[in-house]
Amino acid sequence: MKIAVVGTGYVGLVTGTCFAETGNNVICVDIDKNKVDKLSSGQITIYEPGLEKLFLRNQKEGRLHFTTSLADAVKDAKIIFLALPTPPGEDGSADLKYILGVADDLGKIIKEYKVIIDKSTVPVGTAEKVHAAVAKNATVAFDIVSNPEFLREGVAVDDFMKPDRVVIGTTSEKAKKVMNDLYAPFVRQGNPIIFMDEKSAELTKYAANSFLATKITFMNEIAQLCERMGADVDMVRKGIGSDERIGKRFLFPGIGYGGSCFPKDVQALVKSSTEADYDFKILNAVMDINEKQKLHLLPKIKAYFNNDLKGKKIALWGLAFKPNTDDIREAPALYMIDALLKEGASVAAYDPEAMNNVRTVLGTSITFCEGQYDALKDADILIIATEWSEFRTPDFDRITKLLKHKAIFDGRNLFDLKHMEEMGFYYVSVGRKTIGSNN
Ligand code: NAD
């Protein structure tokens, strides 16, 4: 099949590459010329495990192309995916200007039947708006389909190639058949393609992300209780996670969720709810708690230094909002850096993939280090903000030699408490007892 993918970011590039991998002819279009030039010359623009290999192979075999021209991209493609940004507007609702702008252009361009598929995360009712925007100028028949994407950055290729489920919102039998054929190679193991109406599909995506954000936040509140009551959140997590109704995943407490999706999607669902005359109380609480959770370690760090961080040098491991990505959107580490700098501390940071992205936002206000141990040189303490695998079993002797204070503030609960106690660290984590004393 011939497919156009509009928007070549995290979702668009993975979508385009994975559809090429199953033998389709894919052309990806983006307004960012620099990005298109790089991709056309075989340079991948995002870090996503496993993606580069597929990207290079499919490009070499002539199934994956890039352009800045929407007209060229959609000319021969029967199927058009929209993988465009839907950032929060000033009032928190999803800004549809990218989607509706492209829909408007498509109406003028298309000359034969097309299936236009919305892969971006969009509020309920967007399919109708996209339909109206295309219909304004279109002279041919078309269908609008809602096909929300559930991939997770860091494991996006696996998620796309072997999805738990594919959700497709359409009432058109013709579009249904096209979508069924397109996704057949991805559901060979029996995972379902779930067909529904457009509105239900749109809400499914928001409901999924909001539920997961709530699950994390619930555990962060349990962690708060553990700290106050002397319980250990790791034990509680294992205790409840073994109940099949609850499940083991998304129960890890930490310094809050970030990323390009959870924060904006929870906010957008709250906004849509308000517009539908419903006060979504749980989600308001989730947003409020998560904001505070990002700075959960700060008062503990301040207390360690008798409330004075001026002149302190803080080593920070991890900048990406989660491991295995270079995405820093809404990353808790950035909130932490901002707070530390305001307190008069300096920050020496290391992240395996996200440093270039942070450099473009923070410039020279922090020091970027070549390796995780370089960040520790002359540093007073270490903070861990992202659970990259390489941080999990570090050389503790080296940490001890390099740090001025043998103190680690761990926002991701990477280390065993007993081990930290035996090694004589001052060790603060989330929802577990503090090891050592700062006197
Ligand atoms: P992104 O910002 O990484 O990529 C969007 C791309 O669209 C950019 O390359 C941008 O240059 C391009 N673009 C903007 N306007 C354009 C136009 N008029 N024509 C062509 N290209 C244009 O965004 P993303 O993370 O890929 O997210 C896209 C959508 O998918 C969002 O709605 C997001 O909520 C949703 N989503 C994201 C993820 C994720 O993990 N990133 C997962 C599921 C769903």
Each residue of 214-255: pLDDT tens digit? 999 999 999 999 999 999 999 999 999 999 999 999 999 999
How many whole angstroms separate alpha carbon 42 and alpha carbon 38? Answer: 6
How many whole angstroms separate alpha carbon 320 and alpha carbon 390? Answer: 14
Residue 110 contacts residue 83 (beta carbons within 8 Å): no
pLDDT number for residue 235 = 97
CA of 34 to the centre of ligand 1 (A): 16
The reply to whether 2-196 and 298-428 are identical in fold is yes
CA of 379 to the centre of ligand 1 (A): 38
pLDDT number for residue 439 = 59
Q: 125 φ, ψ to 5°?
A: 105, -5
Catalytic residues: 261
pLDDT number for residue 437 = 85
Tens-place pLDDT, residues 122-165:
999 999 999 999 999 999 999 999 999 999 999 999 999 999 99
Enter the pTM of the model: 0.94
Atom of ligand 1 nearest to the CA of 6: 20
3-state SS class at 412: coil
> Could you tell me how far CA 47 lies from the centroid of its own chain?
12
Residue 165 contacts residue 192 (beta carbons within 8 Å): yes
In this structure, which CATH number among 3.30.160.270, 2.10.109.10, 3.40.50.720, 3.30.750.24 belongs to the domain 2-196? 3.40.50.720
pLDDT number for residue 217 = 98
Atom of ligand 1 nearest to the CA of 105: 18
Answer yes or no: is the C-beta of 198 below 6 A from any ligand 1 atom. Answer: no
Could you please state the CATH topology (level 3) that the domain comprising 205-293 is classified under.
N-(1-d-carboxylethyl)-l-norvaline Dehydrogenase; domain 2 (1.10.1040)
pLDDT number for residue 259 = 94
Could you state, in order of their start, the residue ranges of all structural domains in the chain? 2-196, 205-293, 298-428
| Mean pLDDT per 10-residue segment, the chain (439 residues) | 97 98 98 98 95 98 98 97 94 94 98 98 97 97 98 95 97 97 95 97 98 98 98 98 97 96 96 97 98 97 97 98 95 98 98 97 97 98 98 98 98 98 98 89
pLDDT number for residue 176 = 98
Q: How many CB atoms lie within 10 A of CB 241?
A: 16
How many whole angstroms separate alpha carbon 67 and alpha carbon 31? Answer: 9
Of 307, 366, 361, 301, which Cα lies nearest the Cα of 329?
361
Q: 283 φ, ψ to 5°?
A: -70, -30
CA of 162 to the centre of ligand 1 (A): 21
Class level of CATH domain 298-428 = alpha beta
Q: Is 73 exposed, middle or buried (0-12, 13-18, 19+ CB in 10 A)?
A: buried
Q: Which of 205, 261, 262, 265, when mutated, tests ligand 1's pocket best, judged by the most ligand atoms within 8 Å of its CB?
A: 261
Angle at Cα 365 formed by Cα 347 and Cα 34, nearest 5°? 120
